[in-house]
Amino acid sequence: MENKFFTQSEKMSQEYCCTIVRLGEILEIPGANTVAKTLVNGRTIVIGKDHKPGDVMIYCSNESQLNFDFLSVNNLFSHVDKNCNAEEVNKWLEEHADAPDEEVKEYLRTHRGYFEDKGRVKMTKLAGEVSMGVLFELEQFKKWCPMLDVDLEKLVGTDFDTVNDVLFIKAYVPEMSEENEHHTGEGDPGQVLKYNRLLPGHFVKHYDTQLFEKVVHRFNPDDVVTISNKLHGTSYIIGNIWSKVIVPSWLPVNWFLHLPKRLQFTKEGHAVIYSSRQIIQNQCITNRKRQAKRGLERCYEAYYEMLKQYIPEDITLYGEIIGYVEKSNAFIQTVGQGYDYRCKPGENQLLIYRVVKEAEGGRRVEYNPMAVYNYALALKLELEKDGKSEIANRIRPLDIFYHGKLRDLYPDIPVDENWHANLLERMKNDKEHFGMEENEPMCRNSVPREGIVIRIDDDPVAEAFKLKCLKFLGKEAKQIDKGIADAEMKERYES
C-alpha cells in the first residue's frame, strides 16, 4: 500500500499533526529579499523564495513537537551539539576563532537550524509576517528514514503523526511545575480494590474539534450552520448510560469488593458516569475512602453531584467548565490574565455545547446546535422549578452568533472559485459578528476572545470546527513559553 509509511496513531490530534500539502499562490513580502509567504491549511507561513506554486511539501502544525532524531539528522537544532554535524561545526569554530562576527554568523546560518531543545514548532515573526507552522521537503524525511519510498503527489491531503511506525509529531506539552498543574483522576489504581462498571461502546468521549481553516473547502454555500462563541475552559462529560450495577443495590461497596469473584453479582442498568476530556472519573466502583479532591477534580465532582438526578437515561451531555476552580481563587484557564467569564472567585459555570442520545441498537442521535441550546434552557427551567436557582445559574447555553446558510453570512461575497478563500479571510477578521481579534467582553479581565465554533445542521458525521483568533494564539504561545499548558493537552499524552 502506497501510504504504509505515513500513518495515524490512536492519539493523533488533527490540530497537532502533519499534512502533505501542495503550495498555492506565493506572495511577495515588501522589503524581503530571500523569503515570501503563502497560505497552508488557511494559515500564513513564511517560506524561501526558491519554492514555487505546485510544490508538494510536508506541513507541521503550530505548537507541535517534532521527533528529535529527525531534527538532529537534518541539523535543525539551534544548539550545535545536538546536531549530527556538531563535530564539523565545532572544528570550524575552533579554526576560525578570530573570524569576524559576520563571517561566523553566516557560517552558522547555513550549518545549524532554529529549533530549540524541545523541538517545538511555534509562531514566529519573519520579515514582519507572522508565520505559523513549518514546511519540510521529502528529502529531509529520507535523511531520517532512508527506506521512505512514497510519491507525495498521490498523498496530498494526507494527515499523519507517525512515519514508518515511529511517532514523528505530537502536541507540544511543556514540563509543568506543581503549582501550574490541575490534578485529575483517582491516583494510583493499584492501591485500592475496584470493579469496572463500564460496558463497551456506551460511554463515548468527545471527538477532536477540527481546524476550520484546514477544511473550509468541505463547506458548501447552502450549508446551514450554527456559529457560536468558543469559551476557554476545560471539557466535561456526564451521561446516564447503560452500565454494570451491584446486586443487591443496597450492598455496601466495601463488602461487595471483598467478596469472592463468584459471589460478586452485578446486573446491567443505568448509572451516571462523568469524565474530563480523556479521563473517566468514576469508571470504577472502589473501596477508596472519600478523599479531598484537588484542582479540576472538584469541578468535575461538583457538577456530577448537582446534575446526576437531572440526566435522563441514555442522554450524555458534553460541555465546558469556565471561570474559577471550585472553591479556589485559581482560574480554570489563563492566557496572560485569567478567563473569569464574570464568575466570582471560587465559582464557575457549565456551558453545554453537545447533547447525544443513545437509541435502540446502540445508534447515537446527535442533537442539532439549536436543540442543544434549547436543552440547556429547559434544564435551567427544571432546576428553577425545583428551587435550585443557584445550580440553574451555573448552567450556560451556547452563545450563538449566527444560524443560517453560510452564503447568507456575507451575501456580498461572490460564490465562485474564490468563495472559500474569501469566506475564510472575512471570518478570521470579523469583529462585527464574532468579535474576532477583540478582547472577550464576557470577561472582566482583559483577555483575547479565543475564537468561534462552526457546526453544520444535520451533519451526518458528529463533528465541529474551530477558528481561533490570532491574538489568542499569540498569547497562548507566550504562556507555553512560561511552562503553562492546557491540562487537556497533557491528558491526551499521559492518559
Q: How far apart are CA 238 and CA 308, in angstroms?
A: 8
Q: How far apart are CA 424 and CA 405, in angstroms?
A: 15
45 plus 185 within the same structural domain? no
Q: How far apart are CA 310 and CA 387, in angstroms?
A: 13
For position 195, what pLDDT does the model report?
Answer: 64
For residue 296, pLDDT over 90 is answered with no
Q: How far apart are CA 85 and CA 80, in angstroms?
A: 8
Q: How far apart are CA 273 and CA 381, in angstroms?
A: 23
Q: How far apart are the first and last CA of the chain?
A: 31
Greater model confidence, 243 or 54: 54
Is 473 part of a structural domain of the chain?
yes
For position 79, what pLDDT does the model report?
Answer: 95
Share of the chain above pLDDT 70, in %: 86
Is 104 part of a structural domain of the chain?
no
Q: How far apart are CA 338 and CA 439, in angstroms?
A: 12
Is the bond preceding 30 in cis, omega lying within 30 degrees of 0?
A: no
For position 185, what pLDDT does the model report?
Answer: 42
356 plus 213 within the same structural domain? yes
Name the band, by pLDDT with cuts 50, 70 and 90, for residue 190. Answer: very low
For 436, the domain range is 178-494
Q: What is the mean pLDDT of residues 25-31?
A: 92
What are the tens digits of pLDDT across the range 340-359?
999 999 999 999 999 999 98
Residue 20: which of 147, 210, 119, 161 has the closest Cα?
161
- Kindly tell me the burial class for residue 303, based on how many C-beta atoms sit within 10 Å of its own C-beta (0-12, 13-18, 19 or more): buried
Total residues belonging to the chain: 495
For residue 362, pLDDT over 90 is answered with no
- CA quadruple 334, 340, 346, 352: dihedral positive or negative? negative
313 plus 461 within the same structural domain? yes
For residue 305, pLDDT over 90 is answered with yes
What are the tens digits of pLDDT across the range 159-185?
999 999 999 999 998 865 444 444 444
74 plus 146 within the same structural domain? yes
Instruction: Check if the beta carbon of residue 294 is closer than 8 Å to that of residue 281.
Output: no
209 plus 224 within the same structural domain? yes
Residue 15: which of 159, 135, 219 has the closest Cα?
159
CATH of the domain at 430: 3.30.470.30
For residue 482, pLDDT over 60 is answered with yes
346 plus 442 within the same structural domain? yes
Q: What is the mean pLDDT of residues 362-367?
A: 90
- CA quadruple 53, 59, 61, 62: dihedral positive or negative? negative
Q: What is the mean pLDDT of residues 258-275?
A: 77
For position 191, what pLDDT does the model report?
Answer: 44
243 plus 284 within the same structural domain? yes
For position 262, what pLDDT does the model report?
Answer: 63
309 plus 394 within the same structural domain? yes
Is 90 part of a structural domain of the chain?
no
On whether the pTM is more than 0.75, the answer is yes
Q: What is the mean pLDDT of residues 69-91?
A: 96
Q: Give the bridge partners for 467, in sequence order.
A: 452
Instruction: Check if the beta carbon of residue 216 is closer than 8 Å to that of residue 424.
Output: yes
For position 237, what pLDDT does the model report?
Answer: 96
Greater model confidence, 462 or 403: 403
Q: What is the mean pLDDT of residues 101-125?
A: 92
| Candidate from 150-154, 333-337, 343-347 with smallest mean pLDDT | 333-337
Is 99 part of a structural domain of the chain?
no
Query: From the CB of residue 35, how many other CB atoms can be counted at a distance below 10 Å?
Result: 17
Q: What is the mean pLDDT of residues 244-263?
A: 66
Residue 354: which of 365, 363, 362, 341 has the closest Cα?
365
The alpha-helical segments, DSSP class H, found in 318-416 are: 369-385, 389-392
The alpha-helical segments, DSSP class H, found in 430-486 are: 431-434, 470-481
448 plus 326 within the same structural domain? yes
| Candidate from 57-66, 255-264, 381-390, 461-470 with smallest mean pLDDT | 255-264
Greatest Cα pair distance in the chain: 85
Q: How far apart are CA 102 and CA 11, in angstroms?
A: 45
Share of the chain above pLDDT 90, in %: 68
For residue 283, pLDDT over 80 is answered with no
For position 487, what pLDDT does the model report?
Answer: 59
- 92: helix, strand or coil: helix
Instruction: Answer with the one of 127, 149, 171 that is the final residue of a domain.
Output: 171
For position 336, what pLDDT does the model report?
Answer: 73
For position 38, what pLDDT does the model report?
Answer: 94
Q: How far apart are CA 29 and CA 126, in angstroms?
A: 10
- In single-letter form, the type of residue at position 7 comes to T
What are the tens digits of pLDDT across the range 428-479?
999 999 999 999 999 999 999 999 999 999 999 889 999 999 999 998 888 8
Question: Total structural domains in the chain?
Answer: 2
- In single-letter form, the type of residue at position 173 comes to V
185 plus 163 within the same structural domain? no
Q: What is the mean pLDDT of residues 82-111?
A: 93
**What is the chain's mean pLDDT, rounded?**
88
| Candidate from 419-428, 463-472, 479-488 with smallest mean pLDDT | 479-488
Tell me the C-alpha to C-alpha distance, in Å, between residue 119 and each of 20, 39, 125, 153, 335: 20, 23, 18, 27, 22
187 plus 288 within the same structural domain? yes
CATH of the domain at 159: 2.40.50
Q: How far apart are CA 231 and CA 275, in angstroms?
A: 19
For position 365, what pLDDT does the model report?
Answer: 93
- Kindly tell me the burial class for residue 7, based on how many C-beta atoms sit within 10 Å of its own C-beta (0-12, 13-18, 19 or more): middle
Grid cell of 43 as nine digits: 494559515
DSSP state letter for 359: -
358 plus 397 within the same structural domain? yes
